[in-house]
Amino acid sequence: MSGQSSLERMQWMQMRLALASARPPRGKRSLVWQPEPRGAGMARRGQQILGGLWHLAGQVVEAPGADPWDIPAPSTPFEMQLHGFGWLDDVLTAGGAEARRQSQAWVASWMKRHGKGSGPGWTPALTGRRLLRWISHAPELLRGMDGDMQARFFDLIYRQAIWLRRNWSDAPEGLSRVEALTGLLYAGLTLEGMDDIAPEATRGLQSAVQQDVGEDGGIAARNPEALLELATLLGWAIEALGARDAVPPALRDAQSRIVPTLRALRHADGGLARFHGGSRGLPGRLDRVLVTSGIRERNDSGLAMGFVPLSHGRTTIIVDAEAPPQGAVSGSAHASTLAFEMTSGNCPVIVNCGPGGAFGPDWHRAGRATASHSTLSIDGVSSARIGPLLAQGGRRIAPLIQGPKKVQWQRSASRRASTLLMSHDGYVRSHGLTHLRRLVLSTDGRHLDGEDSLRAISNTDKERLEDAQTEAKLQGVGFTCRFHLHPDAEAELDMGGRAVSITLPSGEVWVFRPGRSITLTVEPSVYLEPGRLKPRPAQQVVLSDRVMKYAATIDWTLTRAQEATELPPSPAETVL
């Protein structure tokens, strides 16, 4: 306890008292229903953990033979994943007596060290996550355990369930609260003598999804991967309640809105669009959610959680066409307005750099900047700014501030192409300039025309731009259009530096050309992929110009010049 503040010691004592008062009912302790393991583990990752390589939250600790609770956690996200026990899915998927024995030992060690309320794992969300894993893996964990250890295991499951019943409302609204309530629901459905918990958890879930899920099937954070995680938990809850024919209509209604939106945010290669702190999603998770839901509809309203999908032939494009999240839900939001990602068949082509939180605070902040997205940015300025750190839900976040207020989009279609016109005012405050973007995708998916403009529209905007020009010593306001490439795509300047050839793993070749004489470069970039140990090096195509008067325009084309020569490999498990 040394090094703890008096407030932390008081909170810890309150936790211990709360847990001590969570006395399970007398009687037999057992599972009246055994659900299937909920998480889809990776056997390879499980073997690595058994060998002492703990790869959590994008960070790695090598500790062969060590008790995980002796490992100094390199970050709070690492510590949260460790105490949430999601890694049990991987270890037990590895299979065999050694995997079972080691899992039992690590669970027993946690019970001894933290079972009385100590440690960072006693938050509603982590307790719900841990209950889900302990309950769903109970047959394997209990196999071969002596009677005394089995009794202790069940006692602590019951105590956690009672503690969670009293404290789930302390979880922040959104995904954390849904995770807490799903764990509580499973406890109520599976633990003998605790069936009175299930109705309360069900009512809480109904309220949570009605509050969190909009009519368009989206969430306020506008994070596609967070929407997938919420859909996963909701699906587990519906499946568990369905075994008793007790699924409330509100839960099915929420699922019927979410799944079509997830389909709209899915690229041709099966991965999610990477926006606002979200990555592509765990391998196979999106497919499982879509299949097990039984819902085949797709959100074709034009705007899915603020994103506009375009799809023709083998090409998909997903564009951020709404203002970024604000306030408490914007702690991981990005300044990505009007940015797009593009996939051709099974190969991502144009991407955003992605979420950098797994690689530390500097990468987290850099990944949120406009320059880390495939869109236009004024030199040194993002379309939304990152505010100061604020305390929220037991953690500190830096919300987005001063982002675009007015974002417009219009979509039209003809026999030859689909056209998307968009604009945002994120640079009006600083420079008096509005960003306008036009994207035209041919109906065969082989040709993308683009145009990016900066314009001072009103007299007030022109005066503001003149002030910015004066500060720039009349050298013009510099801006760039960036097109970040997936690390598996290879870019090479061609045609005497007037074009860029982009070769994909399938052998497909796309050619990027600016429409007029303008500075065209291929520069280094990064691809921030949470499952990796470090950012992956990548490339970006960059167009640079300056606003000298009241408007400037860059036009460009991206054309498939050579078809695929072979099918690329299917997405594999994350490699180290």
CA–CA distance, 140 with 143 (Å, rounded to integer): 5
Amino acid letter, residue 401: I
Banded model confidence at residue 423, pLDDT cuts 50, 70, 90 = very high
- CB 334: neighbour CB atoms within 10 A? 33
- Do the Cβ atoms of 226 and 65 come closer than 8 Å? no
- Mean pLDDT across 283-300: 91
Banded model confidence at residue 9, pLDDT cuts 50, 70, 90 = low
Output the pLDDT for position 21: 55
Q: What is the pLDDT of residues 103-148, one digit of tens each?
A: 999 999 999 999 988 899 999 999 999 999 999 999 999 999 998 9
- Do the Cβ atoms of 301 and 243 come closer than 8 Å? no
In 3D, which of 170, 191, 87, 90 has the Cα closest to residue 122?
170
CA–CA distance, 86 with 55 (Å, rounded to integer): 12
Banded model confidence at residue 572, pLDDT cuts 50, 70, 90 = very low
Distance of CA 560 to CAs 313, 373, 444, Å?
12, 22, 10
DSSP string, 357-368: GGG-HHHHHHHH
CA–CA distance, 558 with 504 (Å, rounded to integer): 14
Count the helix, strand and coil residues of the chain and give each as a percent rounded to the nearest 5: 40, 25, 40
Banded model confidence at residue 27, pLDDT cuts 50, 70, 90 = low
In 3D, which of 47, 75, 49, 44 has the Cα closest to residue 63?
49
**Among 41-55, 219-233, 381-395, 557-571, where is mean pLDDT lowest?**
557-571
Banded model confidence at residue 571, pLDDT cuts 50, 70, 90 = very low
Tokens of 159: 């105590």
Q: What percent of the chain has pLDDT over 70?
A: 92
With a CB cutoff of 8 Å and minimum separation 6, the contacts of 490 are 502, 503, 539
Output the pLDDT for position 349: 98
- CB 117: neighbour CB atoms within 10 A? 20
Q: What is the pTM of this model?
A: 0.92
Predicted confidence (pLDDT) at residue 222 exceeds the cutoff of 70 = yes
Banded model confidence at residue 570, pLDDT cuts 50, 70, 90 = very low
With a CB cutoff of 8 Å and minimum separation 6, the contacts of 146 are none
**Dihedral angle, C-alpha 157, 162, 166, 167, nearest 10 °:** 0
- Do the Cβ atoms of 29 and 128 come closer than 8 Å? no
Q: What is the pLDDT of residues 496-554, one digit of tens each?
A: 889 999 999 999 999 999 998 899 999 999 999 987 888 999 999 999 999 999 999 99
Banded model confidence at residue 13, pLDDT cuts 50, 70, 90 = low
Tokens of 394: 């037991």
Output the pLDDT for position 28: 67
Output the pLDDT for position 12: 55
Distance of CA 526 to CAs 384, 532, 537, Å?
21, 12, 5
